[in-house]
Amino acid sequence: MEIQYVIDTLFAIFAMTLIIFMVPGFAMLEAGLVRTKNVSAVLTVNVMIYAVASMAFLLIGYTYAFGGWDHQDGISKWAFFMFQMAFVGKTINIMSGG
């Protein structure tokens, strides 16, 4: 393995981790806008939206967006998928809160 491949893959994983850490922060922002009795419902909805969006991206969206799993763009295909999935989940999560 080339060192550039490893560095690019690790950076994609690091960036994906930062994006995923935004999900609970946004959920807490939404939870702060509702009454105490509704906080658990808001948090559950945020988790479920992220889970459903991620599963839909795995099963359908990735192939439509990128034309299949055959590309090698300098990083691991799974790291690339996880990076893109984090953006998809976060985008849907933000749209649901507005």
CA–CA distance, 26 with 36 (Å, rounded to integer): 17
Q: Which two tokens stand for residue 59?
A: 């099963």
Q: Look up residue 19 and give its amino acid.
A: I
pTM, rounded to two decimals: 0.79
pLDDT tens digits along 17-69: 999 998 888 889 989 999 999 999 999 998 899 899 999 999 999 889 888 77
**Domain region containing 70:** 3-97
What's the structural domain count of the chain? 1
Q: Which two tokens stand for residue 1?
A: 């393995």
- pLDDT class of 97 with cuts at 50, 70, 90: confident
How many of the other CB atoms lie within 10 Å of CB of 33?
10
* 3-class secondary-structure state, position 12: helix
